[in-house]
Structure 1
Amino acid sequence: MHTDASMFKVRGLELSLPDFANKQPFGRAPMVDILKGLDFDIETGSVLGIVGGSGSGKSTLGRTLVRLLEPTAGSIVFEGSDIGHLDETGLRPLRRRLQMIFQDPMSSLNPRRRVGAIIADPLRIHDLDRIDERVDEALDHVGLPRAFRARYPHELSGGQRQRVGIARAIAMRPDFILADEIVSGLDVSSQAQVLNLLENLVRELGLTLAFISHDLSVIRRLCSQVLVLNRGTIVEYAPVEQIFDAPKSEYTRELLDAIPLPDPDQPGW
């Protein structure tokens, strides 16, 4: 039985992918190192923020954590078992427990399926019971009327579509959710509503969450630990208070300086 406080223990994580942009005619695409020897833990019940600029590797890291990508080297220990190099047969029992909310709900929600079917499909794939009841519970949790089961994604606002994406994830009753830039395409009001929703779900459902963002002001509100990535390496990994009050890396300070202030005449954080 797993009793460690850490849900994930990641050690020496590396990932290389082919660079098709520089592929030579009739040759193999050269490999590019995306993640470079990452070491970190994710404690059960915590919210880890993963931040960095464009191309830092944060989304790639998230997809590797939930094993949409297989690492080139290193280990991903989930509740005591290394899942880093499991084949699809070995991963299938874990898929329900490791869920993901995608950045763009318009591209991640099937436009030809109604909301109820979108939420129910993963439940059917995993042969879970009480599907209709779980769909209704998921809609209740994300604050959408049950009548929305009959709607199509194009009939919803951006914030409502993102709530459907969240409902699809939590309907599986997972232990861990990866949220990849899920508020970046929303207006300020919708961002605040979705962040409030995530805070409530983490508390009410006992979720562990990894939240990927380039916006450190969002990270400060939601997360307890922060991992700062730059070019596939960890430049800082610390509690959120330390990141904002006493950052050790110049790169982290640059990210903090990029946060727009409500009143430019006032000092920063």
Structure 2
Amino acid sequence: MADLYTVENLRLSLADMTRKPLLGAAPRLEILKGLSFTIPKGAVVGIVGGSGSGKSTLGRVLVRLLEPSGGRVSFDGVDITHLDESALRPLRRRFQMIFQDPMSSLNPRHGVGTIIAEPLRLHQFDDVAGRVARALDHVGLPQGFAARYPHELSGGQRQRVGIARAIALEPDFILADEIVSGLDVSSQAQVLNLLERLVADLGLTLAFISHDLSVIRRLCQRTIVLHQGVIVEDRITADLFADPQAAYTRELLDAIPLPDPDQVWA
């Protein structure tokens, strides 16, 4: 299977504003420390780690919302590491992001139809109305929802709108960043089922960021475990749960509540 993403020795450092001196530049804080991995086309890859592990920062580098400090990121054979915005624009349609908080990522002054149509118009798609209708159908929302506003929707419905906006552009890759963490258990299951179906029906490649290994186990074929900006495991998900190699992975697994106190993950 060909690789959609190839990441080599990826590094990213940001100014540490909590330690800004009175004179001179703020010291640099290293967030990502030499990461190397691939994401094959059609794969569902989990990126997991605790708070401060660098997982969301890594996601933003993959879709070039952040520019790396070093290393190389290739998307479908194109080096996007330091492309300027004019060179990135034709590629942006092909990698999309779904955000953790749909309410903050959806314009409250626009109806759902306008929200989904906006990136289609930006990328100069034809038949915008038809594409909006198909996107709503793909995520299981009635066509009448096009006239509704974000505040009129439940959390799960708002997240479906975010997914519809992403898939309307017919991307190759979607980054989902903690998109079920704010939902109740029932809505979480529905969104995960929807993502599974969309991956199969649309041939998507998906990277799913989460702090919750139980969600990763449910959805992802392969899991990358990040700790303090370093990859500590990159393995088939079933193998990782059966025999975690890193102490940090075992800590994450031990933190998952089990319905049966005698149950073990293996």
TM-score by length of 1: 0.97
Aligned with residue 56 of structure 1, among 53, 56, 59: 53
How much does 1:28 deviate?
1.4
Which 5+ residue runs of structure 2 have no aligned equivalent? none
Aligned residues: 266
Aligned with residue 192 of structure 2, among 184, 192, 195: 195
3-state DSSP of counterpart to 1:159:
helix
Counterpart position of 1:16: 13
Mapped to 2, the partners of 1:241 and 1:33 lie a distance apart of: 31
How much does 1:176 deviate?
0.2
3-state DSSP of counterpart to 2:25:
coil
Mapped to 2, the partners of 1:42 and 1:57 lie a distance apart of: 18
Deviations 1:200-230 (CA, angstroms, capped at 9, x unpaired): 0000000000000001011011101100000
Mapped to 1, the partners of 2:265 and 2:223 lie a distance apart of: 19
1:114 aligns with 2:93: no
Mapped to 2, the partners of 1:41 and 1:265 lie a distance apart of: 37
Counterpart position of 1:205: 202
Mapped to 2, the partners of 1:239 and 1:228 lie a distance apart of: 11
1:252 aligns with 2:249: yes
Counterpart position of 1:80: 77
- Spell out the pairing of 1:37-186 with structure 2 (5 A cutoff): 37-186=34-183
3-state DSSP of counterpart to 2:36:
strand
Q: Aligned Cα RMSD in Å?
A: 0.9
Mapped to 2, the partners of 1:56 and 1:91 lie a distance apart of: 27
Which range moved further: 99-108 or 75-84? Answer: 75-84
Mapped to 2, the partners of 1:226 and 1:196 lie a distance apart of: 18
Mapped to 2, the partners of 1:264 and 1:135 lie a distance apart of: 47
8 Å CA contact retained: 2:171, 2:204 = yes
Question: Which runs of 4 or more aligned residues in structure 1 lie more than 3 Å from their structure 2 counterparts after TM superposition?
Answer: 265-269
3-state DSSP of counterpart to 1:56:
coil
How much does 1:77 deviate?
1.1
3-state DSSP of counterpart to 2:9:
strand
Deviations 1:123-173 (CA, angstroms, capped at 9, x unpaired): 011111110000000000000001000110000000000000000000000
Which 5+ residue runs of structure 1 have no aligned equivalent? none
